[in-house]
Amino acid sequence: MIRTLVVDDDFRVAELHAAYVEKVPGFTVVGQAHSAAAVFDAVGQLKPELVLLDLYLPDLHGLEVLRRLRAAGVVSLDVVVVTAANDISSVRAAMQGGALHYLLKPFDFAALRDKLMAYHAMRNEVASVRQADQRGVDRVFAALARPDGLGRPLGSSNHTLEAVEAVLAEGRGGLSATEVAERIGISRATAQRYLARLEALSRATVKPCYGKAGRPEHRYSWGQG
């Protein structure tokens, strides 16, 4: 069982996320923490293998918690950021700090389950690799891009999907695929593919925008309509 610490400043949200984790085979919740101080104590006492880390903590930002854990030499602890912070700078900082996934609130059980299952698959791949040849390394990283709950691939990168979602959340009035592509630095076709996936997952809505000659422009907004 993968020992998991659930971190959220709201104890009710922490309880909900802990209940979600307990429903996923192979995971068990060893504790909950509602502040940065409680996280440091729990990591030392409970020895979790995985932390679901909220960023908005009352005493210290979650990214600083992550930085201090790494600086203290806690490198074997895996982190999945679970937060409402939808700005690209937070996504980038979390990635640079070593977070394996970035899950935006609010989400349902299926969304968290998919992240945890992908993480579980990655751990299994790491355990099976005896020598770090390129094929083995590729299998480890590919495990984090497992199919989603619909049984279809998310694309080449979960981080790209999350970056698209974060940009979408910042765009008032919706964004076109071209605008999303320009803000992230990907092709329009790639942006369109990820936007379609978010729509299929009910994490984005699309509306045609009329007013110009020719075909209407489709504009995407974050969340359900």
For the chain, residues classed under CATH 3.40.50.2300 are 2-109
Q: Quick one: 187 exposed, middle or buried, by C-beta within 10 A (0-12, 13-18, 19+)?
A: exposed
More confident residue, 41 or 218: 41
Its CATH class, for the domain covering 2-109, is alpha beta
What is the rounded average pLDDT of the residues 176-201?
Answer: 84
Residue with tokens 């908005």: 56
Q: CA 57, 59, 64, 68 torsion: positive or negative?
A: negative
Q: What angle do CA 128, 161, 108 make, to 5 degrees?
A: 85
Question: In this predicted structure, what is the pLDDT of residue 147?
Answer: 46
pLDDT of residue 188: 84
Give the integer Cα–Cα distance in Å for 48 and 27: 11
Q: How large is the angle between the packed helices 188-200 and 177-184, nearest 10 degrees?
A: 110
Choices 3.20.20.70, 3.30.420.10, 1.10.10.10, 2.60.40.3080: CATH for 164-222: 1.10.10.10
User: Taking residues 139-152, what's their average pLDDT?
Assistant: 55
Give the model confidence (pLDDT) of 97-140 as tens digits.
889 989 999 888 888 988 898 888 888 877 776 666 676 677 66
Cis ω before 147 (30° cut-off from 0): no
- How far are the Cα atoms of 8, 21, 38 from residue 98, in angstroms, in the given order? 19, 21, 21
Give the residue, 139 or 40, on which the prediction is more confident.
40
Where along the chain do the CATH 1.10.10.10 domains lie? 164-222
| Interval 162-171: pLDDT, tens | 788 888 888 7
What's the mean per-residue pLDDT of the chain? Answer: 83
Burial letters 59-88, b for 16+ CB under 10 A, else e = eeebbebbbebeeeeeeebbbbbbbebbee
The larger pLDDT score, comparing residue 133 to residue 3, is at 3
